Amino acid sequence: MIYSVKMRASKNINGEKVHISGAERMVEERALSEVITYLKNRAMSHEKGKPDFINIKIEEIDKNEILELNALKVRDIKVKSVIEGFVFIKSFLESQNIKNADYILNLLKSTSNMRGAIILDVNSLERLEPDLKSGVRVTYMDYKKIKNFKEYKMHFNEALVLATKVANAPGIVGELCISDDPNYTIGYVATKKHGYMRVSKLKEIGSQNGARIFLYDKNKADLKETIEFLKKKKVLVIG
């Protein structure tokens, strides 16, 4: 049997529920105890502070519903400054005939404290996620095989799994991301064709700002189909 184990943690700060941490594994029954402990410990020791609320949800998954995808190819982009990092992303977007790159990047830089992602119409620049405050959460995904959770490279592996699923979603032509973890300055831009481009510096150390934008083309797929895939399609990533 395969189980989805989801963790989300938050903290009430000045009357507002602030997102602290979230993660998911898809594992066999024999690994449940280990992964539950791993996710609990991760939430309790997060860089953004200790949460006052942790929810762990366990759900059985039908193996026949799982889609296996090859991981996006990875390319490391080394830059010396945040400005240089954004110059690279702008140049890449423009090379893909994506207009209004400045607007898209300003939206990425100015957004924070969202549990999920923005879905942005790449042509009209309209935000299309049903909940503009929380965004769209991508769930039901993991690597096919992880031998040791203690050695699991959290930021890189989780980002690559998510980017691989998103890049294969109908209607999605690209993704931009900056982590909200204060000690993690790396971000990325990803597409199905060009892979996962990992940019070494997209924010300054100590900043809790972070956001994720999915670039959507309505000419390629219906929005409902796109969101259904992102939220509900079970995916295991190979590689």
Q: Which of left, alpha, beta for 206 (phi over 0: left; psi -120 to 50: alpha)? A: left
| pLDDT for the residue numbered 144 | 86
Closest to 39 measured CA to CA, from 7, 87, 4: 7
Beta strands in the chain (DSSP E): 2-13, 16-28, 53-61, 66-70, 74-77, 118-121, 141-143, 172-178, 187-191, 195-199, 211-216, 234-238
* pLDDT confidence of residue 51: 92
The pTM for the full model equals 0.91
For 134, phi and psi rounded to 5 degrees? Answer: -95, -25
User: What string of pLDDT tens digits covers the 239 residues of the chain?
Assistant: 899 999 999 999 888 888 888 899 999 999 999 999 999 999 998 878 899 999 999 999 999 999 999 999 999 999 999 999 999 999 999 999 999 999 999 999 999 878 899 999 999 999 999 999 999 999 999 998 754 444 445 678 899 999 999 999 999 999 999 998 888 899 999 999 999 999 999 999 999 889 999 999 999 999 999 999 999 999 999 98
- Looking at residue 153, its pLDDT comes to 56
Q: What pLDDT is recorded for position 20?
A: 85
CB–CB of 228/133 below 8 Å? Answer: no
Cα–Cα distances (Å) from 174 to 59, 81, 221, 233, in that order, read 30, 23, 14, 18
